[in-house]
Amino acid sequence: MVSCVSYKSAIVIFTDTWRRDHLGFYGNDRIKTPAADRLASESIVFEDVYPESLATIQVRRAYFTGKRIYPWRNYEQWWKSKDFRSWCHGWQPLSPDDVSITEILRKRGYVAGLIADIPFYGWPAANFHRAFNSYEFIRGKARDQFRIPSTVAPYYQMPIHTANYRGISFDEEYFAPQVFRSAMKWLEENYRREKFYLHLEVWDPHEFWYPPECYVKMYDPEFSYEKEEEILKLIFPTIKNPTQQQVEKIRALYAGMVTQTDFWMGVFLDYARNLGVLDDAIVIFVSDHGTNLGERGIVGKPPSAMYDELVRIPLTIRLPDGKHSEKRVEGFAYDHDLTVTLLGLLNIESPEYMEGLDIMPLVTEEKKNLRDHIICGYNDFVCVRDEQWHYITADRRRIMYPPSEDRLYDVRNDPEMKMNAIENHPSVAKKMNERIKALWKQYGMEYEQP
């Protein structure tokens, strides 16, 4: 579907690990996200968006190509290979046969810029910068070997990470601020062009959760980095069965990074607004997934924990003429639907090979639903969600996770997913499995659980 209104430019702000429920406009009245909330007040807000696969690279591949990544294809070949280009579970760069949204836009006269601090983008053989006119990789996130540690330290002290933070003294020197500051420079140089596409990849608030202390104190006034050894165990948590005190510190660290990222996004958006860019450009805000912060005793993103905290994602689309602003849209949507939708808003026909759907008919109420369920894969796990049920299971390579680990939740009556209802509803679990099998069959594969 091609939009009858033609917009000419677009800015995509793609964050990582930003939980949907840690945004004011999705109902959180404790976490401070004024910039995102203002953007949402000017945007269409989507309520039921999910990735079709996890984690970081899988979501980017789905967006850039408009195609599903799960179910994983050529699994055995990927598993045996040591080549980055053949990693398993969807961890591949764009293939030579893929055509990215950037290539489509370039052919239609767009000037395209990429600014990213995602460490995977700088790896050998990674090629997500393909077709951009300009690209900037901001080094130093996570285990990016940007600087050499001065000492050998235990794993939890993360010597590479702490070395990369060496010399950072001011808020604007952190990584998300660097992305947004570079984006401001890019806009200054390119905003007068007739058509542009600016794609920002902000890894925050992905762990490591190490924001300036002032942001953490907003949520834990007694917090201090002076107890460095204790805190370093929490900024990239690998804790099993964390204590309540540890959970509270982790939540304060994460919330601090959310607010820092939001603040600098606001600086960038205000700058774009002052340039007049927002009068003409679509602005999209989205994250790839969330994380667990102590819910059910889980911290982080284990594939078995495919609950809403992990798989339900935020999405807003701001149209420059204010059309549909503040509209809340229900109905299942995927991350790769965004590709087709953006092309439609730019009055560009989507290629037939793209599997995403234009979600604007949900906005205009031409359709109430585009699909009756979603399926999301993550390593050896998969979840299925429909209007009533949320099902989590291991896929056909089930070795460590027996059928007794399967979970089924009645989200109408148990929205926090506290009660596993699978024993009382075996027919529902069977139906969910049939949906997974049908998806695999669609790609010429058999889904069989041992």
Co-location of 343 and 241 in the same domain? yes
**Do the domain assignments include residue 2?**
no
Range of the domain at 105: 9-368
Co-location of 400 and 357 in the same domain? no
Co-location of 176 and 215 in the same domain? yes
Co-location of 344 and 419 in the same domain? no
Residue 299 C-beta-side C-alpha neighbours within 13 Å: 24
Residues 413 and 411: their CA atoms lie apart, in Å, by 5
Ramachandran assignment for 253, one of left (phi > 0), alpha (psi -120 to 50 degrees), beta (any other): alpha
Co-location of 290 and 414 in the same domain? no
Co-location of 221 and 343 in the same domain? yes
**Do the domain assignments include residue 375?**
no
Co-location of 271 and 305 in the same domain? yes
Tell me the one-letter amino acid at 426.
P
**Do the domain assignments include residue 374?**
no
Co-location of 363 and 395 in the same domain? no
| Phi and psi, residue 128, nearest 5° | -70, -15
DSSP letter string over 394-413?
Answer: E-TT-SSS-GGG-EEEETTT
Co-location of 221 and 357 in the same domain? yes
Q: Which two tokens mark 262?
A: 């939001």
pLDDT in single tens digits along all 450 residues of the chain: 444 566 899 999 999 999 999 999 999 999 999 999 999 999 999 999 999 999 899 999 999 999 999 998 765 565 555 555 455 788 888 888 899 999 999 999 999 999 999 988 877 678 899 999 999 999 888 777 777 777 665 544 566 777 777 778 789 999 999 999 999 999 999 999 999 999 999 999 998 898 999 999 999 999 988 876 677 677 776 667 788 888 999 999 999 999 999 999 999 999 999 999 999 999 999 999 999 999 998 999 999 999 999 999 999 999 998 899 989 999 999 999 999 999 999 999 999 999 999 999 999 999 999 999 999 999 889 999 999 999 999 876 555 666 668 999 999 999 999 999 999 999 999 999 999 999 999 999 887 665
State the CB neighbour count (10 A cutoff) for residue 310.
Answer: 26
Q: Which two tokens mark 20?
A: 């949907």
Q: What is the CATH number of the domain that holds 419?
A: 3.30.1120
State the CB neighbour count (10 A cutoff) for residue 359.
Answer: 25
**Do the domain assignments include residue 309?**
yes
**Do the domain assignments include residue 46?**
yes
Of the residues 340, 368, 396, which one is the last residue of a structural domain? 368
Q: What is the CATH number of the domain that holds 178?
A: 3.40.720.10
Nearest to 207 by CA among 170, 253, 243: 253
**Do the domain assignments include residue 4?**
no
| C-alpha pair distances (Å), 416 with each of 268, 307, 410 | 35, 9, 9
DSSP letter string over 16-38?
Answer: SS--GGGSGGGT-SSS--HHHHH
Report the domain count for the chain: 2
**Do the domain assignments include residue 207?**
yes
Residues 191 and 197: their CA atoms lie apart, in Å, by 10
**Do the domain assignments include residue 77?**
yes
Co-location of 318 and 235 in the same domain? yes
Burial class (CB in 10 A: 0-12, 13-18, 19+), 119: buried
